[in-house]
Amino acid sequence: MESVALKHLTIKRTIGTTQQEELDVLAMEEPLEIRIAYFEDGARVTKKISVTMRTPGQDANLSLGFLFTEGIIKSKREVAAVNKSADDDQWIEIELHQTTKPEIKNLERNFYTTSSCGVCGKASLESIKVNSPFKNEEGNLKIAIDTIYKLPEQLLKHQQIFAQTGGLHASALFNGTGELLLVQEDVGRHNALDKVIGTMLLEDKLPLHNNLLLLSERISFELVQKAFMAGIKIIAAVGAPSSLAVQMAEENNMTLIGFLKGTKCNVYTGGERIIL
Protein backbone atom coordinates (compact mmCIF):
# COMPACT_ATOMS: atom_id res chain seq x y z
CA MET A 1 0.00 0.00 0.00
CA GLU A 2 1.38 3.40 -1.02
CA SER A 3 2.03 5.86 1.80
CA VAL A 4 -0.35 8.82 1.92
CA ALA A 5 2.75 11.04 2.02
CA LEU A 6 4.26 9.61 -1.16
CA LYS A 7 3.29 9.34 -4.81
CA HIS A 8 5.03 7.10 -7.35
CA LEU A 9 5.37 8.42 -10.87
CA THR A 10 7.02 7.20 -14.06
CA ILE A 11 9.43 9.82 -15.37
CA LYS A 12 11.99 10.11 -18.15
CA ARG A 13 15.44 10.26 -16.60
CA THR A 14 17.55 12.38 -18.93
CA ILE A 15 21.34 12.37 -18.98
CA GLY A 16 22.91 14.31 -21.80
CA THR A 17 21.02 13.27 -24.92
CA THR A 18 19.78 9.91 -23.62
CA GLN A 19 16.56 9.10 -21.78
CA GLN A 20 15.15 6.12 -19.99
CA GLU A 21 11.93 5.59 -18.06
CA GLU A 22 12.27 5.21 -14.29
CA LEU A 23 9.98 5.17 -11.30
CA ASP A 24 10.31 8.29 -9.18
CA VAL A 25 8.90 9.09 -5.74
CA LEU A 26 7.30 12.46 -5.00
CA ALA A 27 6.23 14.05 -1.73
CA MET A 28 2.48 14.52 -1.68
CA GLU A 29 1.07 18.03 -1.44
CA GLU A 30 -2.67 18.38 -0.88
CA PRO A 31 -4.96 21.04 0.61
CA LEU A 32 -6.35 20.71 4.11
CA GLU A 33 -9.14 22.95 5.35
CA ILE A 34 -8.96 23.53 9.09
CA ARG A 35 -12.24 24.31 10.85
CA ILE A 36 -13.23 24.92 14.44
CA ALA A 37 -16.60 24.28 16.05
CA TYR A 38 -17.53 26.20 19.19
CA PHE A 39 -20.57 27.51 21.02
CA GLU A 40 -21.78 31.09 20.91
CA ASP A 41 -24.90 32.12 22.83
CA GLY A 42 -25.82 28.47 23.19
CA ALA A 43 -25.63 27.73 19.47
CA ARG A 44 -22.98 25.59 17.78
CA VAL A 45 -20.90 27.62 15.31
CA THR A 46 -18.56 26.19 12.68
CA LYS A 47 -15.88 28.48 11.26
CA LYS A 48 -13.37 27.85 8.50
CA ILE A 49 -10.00 28.94 9.82
CA SER A 50 -7.42 28.09 7.19
CA VAL A 51 -6.57 26.19 4.04
CA THR A 52 -3.01 24.95 4.08
CA MET A 53 -1.08 22.94 1.49
CA ARG A 54 0.41 20.07 3.42
CA THR A 55 1.84 16.58 3.19
CA PRO A 56 -0.98 14.23 4.36
CA GLY A 57 -0.44 12.53 7.70
CA GLN A 58 -0.52 13.85 11.28
CA ASP A 59 -3.39 16.12 10.24
CA ALA A 60 -4.86 16.35 13.75
CA ASN A 61 -1.47 17.31 15.20
CA LEU A 62 -0.96 19.84 12.42
CA SER A 63 -4.37 21.41 13.01
CA LEU A 64 -3.99 21.58 16.78
CA GLY A 65 -0.48 22.97 16.45
CA PHE A 66 -1.73 25.62 14.03
CA LEU A 67 -4.61 26.66 16.31
CA PHE A 68 -2.25 26.85 19.28
CA THR A 69 0.51 28.80 17.56
CA GLU A 70 -2.08 31.23 16.18
CA GLY A 71 -3.31 31.79 19.74
CA ILE A 72 -6.81 30.46 19.00
CA ILE A 73 -6.62 27.73 21.66
CA LYS A 74 -4.45 27.61 24.77
CA SER A 75 -4.35 23.91 25.70
CA LYS A 76 -5.63 20.48 24.72
CA ARG A 77 -8.16 20.70 27.57
CA GLU A 78 -10.14 23.12 25.43
CA VAL A 79 -10.60 20.45 22.74
CA ALA A 80 -13.64 18.17 22.93
CA ALA A 81 -13.19 16.20 19.70
CA VAL A 82 -11.37 16.03 16.38
CA ASN A 83 -13.65 15.36 13.41
CA LYS A 84 -12.30 14.40 9.98
CA SER A 85 -13.79 14.09 6.52
CA ALA A 86 -14.52 10.43 6.00
CA ASP A 87 -13.82 10.13 2.30
CA ASP A 88 -11.10 12.47 1.05
CA ASP A 89 -9.06 13.83 4.01
CA GLN A 90 -9.64 17.34 2.70
CA TRP A 91 -10.89 18.91 5.93
CA ILE A 92 -10.54 18.54 9.68
CA GLU A 93 -12.70 20.09 12.38
CA ILE A 94 -11.49 20.80 15.90
CA GLU A 95 -14.53 20.81 18.18
CA LEU A 96 -14.12 22.84 21.35
CA HIS A 97 -15.84 22.37 24.69
CA GLN A 98 -18.97 24.47 25.23
CA THR A 99 -17.22 26.59 27.85
CA THR A 100 -14.25 27.38 25.58
CA LYS A 101 -14.18 30.76 23.85
CA PRO A 102 -11.64 30.69 21.01
CA GLU A 103 -9.48 33.77 20.48
CA ILE A 104 -10.51 34.65 16.93
CA LYS A 105 -11.13 38.40 17.22
CA ASN A 106 -7.64 39.37 16.06
CA LEU A 107 -7.43 36.95 13.16
CA GLU A 108 -8.42 39.41 10.45
CA ARG A 109 -6.61 37.71 7.61
CA ASN A 110 -7.15 35.75 4.47
CA PHE A 111 -6.61 32.22 5.81
CA TYR A 112 -4.98 30.77 2.75
CA THR A 113 -1.49 29.51 3.52
CA THR A 114 0.79 27.92 0.97
CA SER A 115 3.65 25.53 1.54
CA SER A 116 6.09 28.45 1.43
CA CYS A 117 4.26 31.13 3.40
CA GLY A 118 2.33 30.78 6.62
CA VAL A 119 1.63 34.46 7.29
CA CYS A 120 0.62 35.54 3.78
CA GLY A 121 -2.57 37.56 3.93
CA LYS A 122 -2.26 38.94 7.42
CA ALA A 123 -4.41 42.03 7.59
CA SER A 124 -2.02 44.03 9.73
CA LEU A 125 1.42 43.83 11.33
CA GLU A 126 -0.26 43.86 14.76
CA SER A 127 -2.26 40.75 13.91
CA ILE A 128 0.93 38.87 13.03
CA LYS A 129 2.20 38.97 16.59
CA VAL A 130 0.59 36.70 19.17
CA ASN A 131 1.30 36.37 22.88
CA SER A 132 2.61 33.11 24.25
CA PRO A 133 1.00 31.73 27.41
CA PHE A 134 4.57 30.93 28.49
CA LYS A 135 6.03 34.37 27.73
CA ASN A 136 7.08 35.08 31.32
CA GLU A 137 8.41 31.60 32.02
CA GLU A 138 12.10 30.83 31.64
CA GLY A 139 13.81 27.46 31.30
CA ASN A 140 17.37 26.67 32.33
CA LEU A 141 18.56 24.95 29.17
CA LYS A 142 22.19 25.40 28.17
CA ILE A 143 23.76 23.20 25.53
CA ALA A 144 27.35 22.46 24.51
CA ILE A 145 28.43 23.66 21.09
CA ASP A 146 29.88 20.22 20.29
CA THR A 147 26.44 18.74 20.90
CA ILE A 148 24.82 21.30 18.61
CA TYR A 149 27.27 20.47 15.80
CA LYS A 150 26.06 16.83 15.81
CA LEU A 151 22.34 17.59 15.48
CA PRO A 152 21.96 18.03 11.69
CA GLU A 153 23.45 14.60 11.02
CA GLN A 154 21.02 13.03 13.47
CA LEU A 155 18.10 14.82 11.84
CA LEU A 156 19.10 13.73 8.34
CA LYS A 157 19.14 10.08 9.43
CA HIS A 158 15.51 10.37 10.51
CA GLN A 159 14.13 12.31 7.53
CA GLN A 160 12.56 9.21 6.03
CA ILE A 161 10.35 10.89 3.43
CA PHE A 162 13.06 13.37 2.48
CA ALA A 163 15.43 10.46 1.86
CA GLN A 164 13.01 9.09 -0.75
CA THR A 165 11.89 12.36 -2.34
CA GLY A 166 14.41 15.10 -1.54
CA GLY A 167 11.46 17.46 -1.28
CA LEU A 168 10.41 17.98 2.33
CA HIS A 169 11.22 20.27 5.23
CA ALA A 170 11.73 18.94 8.73
CA SER A 171 11.44 20.19 12.30
CA ALA A 172 12.99 18.27 15.17
CA LEU A 173 13.13 18.50 18.96
CA PHE A 174 16.21 17.58 20.97
CA ASN A 175 16.92 17.60 24.68
CA GLY A 176 19.93 19.24 26.28
CA THR A 177 22.20 16.23 25.74
CA GLY A 178 21.43 16.05 22.03
CA GLU A 179 18.93 13.18 22.19
CA LEU A 180 16.43 13.31 19.34
CA LEU A 181 12.88 13.34 20.72
CA LEU A 182 10.66 13.99 17.71
CA VAL A 183 10.87 14.66 13.95
CA GLN A 184 8.07 15.82 11.67
CA GLU A 185 8.26 16.37 7.89
CA ASP A 186 6.09 18.34 5.51
CA VAL A 187 6.22 20.23 2.22
CA GLY A 188 5.51 23.33 4.30
CA ARG A 189 8.15 24.39 6.83
CA HIS A 190 5.47 25.94 9.05
CA ASN A 191 3.38 22.75 8.81
CA ALA A 192 6.30 20.61 9.97
CA LEU A 193 6.70 22.80 13.04
CA ASP A 194 2.95 22.86 13.72
CA LYS A 195 2.99 19.06 13.63
CA VAL A 196 5.78 19.02 16.24
CA ILE A 197 4.03 21.51 18.51
CA GLY A 198 0.64 19.83 18.04
CA THR A 199 2.14 16.49 19.03
CA MET A 200 3.61 17.95 22.21
CA LEU A 201 0.33 19.73 22.93
CA LEU A 202 -1.53 16.41 22.75
CA GLU A 203 1.05 14.81 25.03
CA ASP A 204 0.74 17.66 27.55
CA LYS A 205 4.45 18.47 27.24
CA LEU A 206 4.21 22.22 26.70
CA PRO A 207 6.06 24.46 27.37
CA LEU A 208 9.23 23.28 25.64
CA HIS A 209 11.67 25.42 27.62
CA ASN A 210 14.25 22.65 27.90
CA ASN A 211 14.21 21.53 24.28
CA LEU A 212 16.19 22.71 21.27
CA LEU A 213 14.38 23.09 17.95
CA LEU A 214 16.31 22.21 14.79
CA LEU A 215 15.03 23.32 11.38
CA SER A 216 16.19 21.83 8.10
CA GLU A 217 15.84 25.13 6.27
CA ARG A 218 16.04 28.88 6.70
CA ILE A 219 14.58 30.61 9.76
CA SER A 220 11.63 32.87 9.00
CA PHE A 221 9.72 35.13 11.35
CA GLU A 222 6.75 32.79 11.47
CA LEU A 223 8.88 29.85 12.63
CA VAL A 224 10.40 31.89 15.44
CA GLN A 225 6.93 33.02 16.45
CA LYS A 226 5.58 29.47 16.53
CA ALA A 227 8.57 28.36 18.61
CA PHE A 228 7.99 31.32 20.94
CA MET A 229 4.36 30.28 21.41
CA ALA A 230 5.48 26.81 22.52
CA GLY A 231 8.06 28.16 24.96
CA ILE A 232 11.10 27.08 22.92
CA LYS A 233 14.21 29.08 23.85
CA ILE A 234 16.84 27.71 21.43
CA ILE A 235 16.39 27.46 17.66
CA ALA A 236 19.07 26.16 15.30
CA ALA A 237 18.88 25.80 11.53
CA VAL A 238 21.03 24.76 8.63
CA GLY A 239 19.94 27.89 6.74
CA ALA A 240 19.90 31.63 7.26
CA PRO A 241 17.53 33.67 9.43
CA SER A 242 15.63 36.67 8.17
CA SER A 243 16.07 40.08 9.79
CA LEU A 244 12.60 39.89 11.35
CA ALA A 245 13.34 36.42 12.71
CA VAL A 246 16.42 37.79 14.49
CA GLN A 247 14.43 40.74 15.79
CA MET A 248 11.69 38.45 17.12
CA ALA A 249 14.25 36.23 18.86
CA GLU A 250 16.05 39.23 20.38
CA GLU A 251 12.84 40.76 21.69
CA ASN A 252 11.81 37.51 23.37
CA ASN A 253 15.17 36.42 24.79
CA MET A 254 15.57 33.43 22.47
CA THR A 255 18.78 31.88 21.16
CA LEU A 256 18.99 31.83 17.37
CA ILE A 257 21.62 29.80 15.48
CA GLY A 258 21.94 29.73 11.70
CA PHE A 259 24.16 28.20 9.02
CA LEU A 260 24.75 25.14 11.19
CA LYS A 261 27.00 22.79 9.25
CA GLY A 262 29.90 20.63 10.33
CA THR A 263 31.69 22.49 13.11
CA LYS A 264 30.51 25.95 12.08
CA CYS A 265 27.49 28.11 12.85
CA ASN A 266 26.43 31.70 13.33
CA VAL A 267 24.95 32.72 16.68
CA TYR A 268 22.64 35.70 16.20
CA THR A 269 21.02 36.05 19.63
CA GLY A 270 21.11 34.46 23.07
CA GLY A 271 24.70 33.22 23.01
CA GLU A 272 24.69 32.81 26.80
CA ARG A 273 22.82 29.49 26.39
CA ILE A 274 25.68 27.95 24.40
CA ILE A 275 28.52 26.32 26.30
CA LEU A 276 31.83 26.71 24.47
Domains annotated for the chain, with CATH where assigned, are: 30-128 (3.10.20.10), 143-275 (3.40.140.10)
Residues in CB range of 243: below 8 A, 6 or more apart:
none
Summarize the confidence of residues 119-128 as an average pLDDT: 48
If you count them, how many residues does the chain have? 276
Active site residues per annotation: 117
Query: Residues of 97-131 as b/e, b for ≥16 C-beta within 10 angstroms?
Result: eeebebeeebbebebebbbeebeeebeeeeebebe
CA distance 133 to 20: 56
State pLDDT tens for residues 206-264: 999 999 999 998 999 999 999 999 999 999 999 999 999 999 999 999 999 999 999 99
Assign 122 a pLDDT band (cuts: 50, 70, 90).
very low
pLDDT for the residue 138: 79
- Does residue 108 surpass a pLDDT of 80? no
State pLDDT tens for residues 179-204: 999 999 998 899 999 999 999 999 99
Summarize the confidence of residues 139-153 as an average pLDDT: 95
pLDDT for the residue 126: 52
pLDDT for the residue 166: 60
pLDDT for the residue 124: 42
pLDDT for the residue 1: 38
Assign 111 a pLDDT band (cuts: 50, 70, 90).
very low
- Does residue 123 surpass a pLDDT of 50? no
